[in-house]
Amino acid sequence: MALLGRVLVLLALGCAAFAITSALLSRRPGRRVWQRSAERAVYMTAVMMSGAMAVMIWALLTDDFSFANVADYSNSTLSWSYKVGGLWASEAGSLLLFAWILSMYSAFVVWLNRRRHRELMPIVVAVLMTVAAFFASLLSFATSPFNTLAQRPSQGGGLNPLLQNPYMMAHPPILYLGYVGLAIPFAFAIAALWTRRLGTEWITSIRRWTVISWVLLAVGILLGARWAYGELGWGGYWAWDPVENAALMPWLMATAFLHSIMVQERRGMLRVWNMVLVITAYSLSLFGTFLTRSGIISSIHAFGASTLGPWFLSFILVLTVASLGLLITRIPDLRSRNSLESFVSREAVFLYNNLLLVGLTFAVFWGTVFPVITQVVKGQSITIGTGYYNQVALPIGLVLLILTGIGPMIPWRKASWRQLMRRFTAPLIGTAIAAVLILSLTDVGTSIWASATVIACAFVTICIAGEFWRGTQVRHALGGVSWPASVYELVARNRRRYGGYIVHLGIVVLIVGLTGSQAFATQHDIALRRGQTASVRGYQFTNLGYINTSTPNVQESGVVLAESQGGSRIGTMNPTIGFYPASQQRLTEVALDSNAFRDVYVVLVGIDSSGLARFSVFINPLVIWVWIGGLIMLIGGGVAVWPPPRAQRQVESAAVPEAVRTT
């Protein structure tokens, strides 16, 4: 089986190389037959990678400990889902997952465009298969998930206990889907530069791909945050860890790109800027992959010591330099037809938004690589703490939030003061009323940033609601249908626009959760013997006794805590400490009581020989709204990318100028 897996990866490498050659040959006159050969080679690359994935998953599910990866990251006591999770727990397995996702994306893109974009597709195929060949080369010659052991052990080492969590089973694959998905807009951008087809054709081809990748990155980041919150036992979910930052940076750049392409579509501006954004977004996604496998940073998310760092760094540098070099040669062709007419216009707001997002990305990048730079220059690694990131992110994030509300309210090209007064009077009055209520409920002296942020959230929410209200009014008046039907038709006929508004609303909800949980969270340490009670912020915790459970995979010891408030029993909580025999590790399991207003978060620190149990209790306000905001963003993204009815697509296609229609 291991030999079969190796052979399949080598065949995938060969197919990718053939696809690159055939795609480039197909650009010559009279050699269109090579394009079909290239497409078939892409399909075969996906088939070979799928076969290799099947071999690896079969080895994990059947406990084939002759595979080094299975012996190191799985054992027979795990459930099937955690056995499969051993695939991305290992460095080589995660690279195999990357390569498989890329091959499937590539095959799907080729199939979707089998009759379209005849000028672009050869270069798109060549770019995607170049990346696929790089990953296949790593799996063939640098690190392989199909390495075998000379002597097969009777039992495996097991999956890291930290990873034995449902959120961690979903977090890496979804994040990888987002990372790899950014290769599609990158490939189309390079194809547009190469062929000089620099209108809106390449943008319309990748808009949905970019939104899908952006949503998947957001969901993957939030799932990772939820895992950290429930598994690490420190009461938080975001620590500006280098690998967290590595996922955040391409998301920020993709956010800037999604806003910026609207300016190019509407006004023909920012064409060079958009190319820079899409190249940088994909380079940063590769950089995140490099960080976790280079061994140059210390992170709970990284794979530790690795020899792959030079491979990745070299590939990233070559890809980025080549892409930017190609862009420089095409700058004369990318000159904008129009220029910024006013600093108070929608395109100006999008530009401000872009500059802030790029600035924030650079600040995060600098904080992430600073320890590496100081290690090289001074011989001593100096780590930047969370204070640096918060000082940078808070003001930039607040301005970005306000721009989220302002942007849709301002017309294109130029806004008059009369227009601004008419459009912003109601939102500002509503925000003033909300501000009075917010300031009366919060301590401004100790939470000025929190108060300002929540007021900004109120402003954005009112602006978004106003957009829905005005559109619904028009639809109701014209269509003569009910108000709910008017809302449905409004969104259905303008999915991209109103899907974006729903995403913005999700971001507002998420920021409310972030603000409440960061600004007002408290931690308390208590110690209880059986029968004793302690009070924390109006909650009473009573030690009802001890529990011990055992399974082949884990042995748990914990405490049964009765949780009460104001004399009324809320329920019981069971914080535990688990011992995992396979890996000889101990891990705390958090007890969590969550509602719309706060999380009560209890960690069992330990139980001494006398029976005294020590706990850390966190009261974290509004955390649940972080996860609800993520769900709303997912819904909004789904609305934005959902294809319109066929009749509407035909109307939109007929409205596209002949010069930018697909061929």
DSSP per residue over 133-161, as a string? HHHHHIIIII--TT-B-SS--SS-----G
Structure tokens given for 456: 């900004």
What is the model's pLDDT at position 372?
81
Distance between first and last Cα of the chain: 45
Longest dimension (CA), the chain: 87
Q: Where are the alpha helices (DSSP H) in 415-494?
A: 417-441, 448-479, 483-493
Q: Tens digits of per-residue pLDDT, 513-567?
A: 999 998 889 999 999 999 999 999 999 999 999 999 988 888 999 999 999 998 8
Give percent of the chain with pLDDT exceeding 90: 56
Structure tokens given for 165: 């969590």
Distances in Å between the Cα of 342 and the Cα atoms of 59, 413, 414, 415 are: 62, 7, 5, 8
Task: Evaluate if pTM is beyond 0.85.
Answer: yes
Residue 135 domain-assigned (yes or no): yes
Q: Does the structure show a pLDDT above 70 at 294?
A: no
What is the model's pLDDT at position 223?
94
Q: Tens digits of per-residue pLDDT, 200-246?
A: 888 888 889 999 999 999 999 999 999 999 888 899 999 898 888 99
Average pLDDT over residues 482-507: 89
Q: Does the structure show a pLDDT above 60 at 497?
A: yes
Q: Does the structure show a pLDDT above 50 at 651?
A: no
Domain boundary among 149, 183, 213: 149
Going 80 to 83 to 89 to 92, the CA torsion angle's sign is negative
Angle of helix 201-231 relative to helix 183-195, nearest 10 degrees, comes to 160
C-alpha to C-alpha distance for 428 and 416, rounded to whole angstroms = 17
Q: Tens digits of per-residue pLDDT, 165-181?
A: 899 889 999 999 999 99
Domain boundary among 115, 149, 183: 149
Q: Does the structure show a pLDDT above 90 at 48?
A: yes
Q: Tens digits of per-residue pLDDT, 597-607?
A: 999 999 999 99
What is the model's pLDDT at position 83?
92
Residue 122 domain-assigned (yes or no): yes
What length does the chain have? Answer: 663
The chain-wide mean pLDDT, for the chain, equals: 88
C-alpha to C-alpha distance for 186 and 316, rounded to whole angstroms = 13
C-alpha to C-alpha distance for 605 and 601, rounded to whole angstroms = 13
Q: Does the structure show a pLDDT above 90 at 7?
A: yes
For residue 112, what are the domain limits?
1-149
Other CB atoms within 10 Å distance of the CB of residue 304: 10
Residue 286 domain-assigned (yes or no): no
Residue 375 domain-assigned (yes or no): no
Residue 48 domain-assigned (yes or no): yes
Domain count for the chain, please give it: 2
DSSP one-letter code for 234: S
Angle of helix 91-112 relative to helix 183-195, nearest 10 degrees, comes to 50
Average pLDDT over residues 309-329: 92
Structure tokens given for 639: 């609305």
C-alpha to C-alpha distance for 302 and 573, rounded to whole angstroms = 32
Domain boundary among 114, 149, 184: 149
What is the model's pLDDT at position 97?
95
Residue 378 domain-assigned (yes or no): no
Residue 292 domain-assigned (yes or no): no
Q: Tens digits of per-residue pLDDT, 613-622?
A: 999 999 999 9
Residue 18 domain-assigned (yes or no): yes
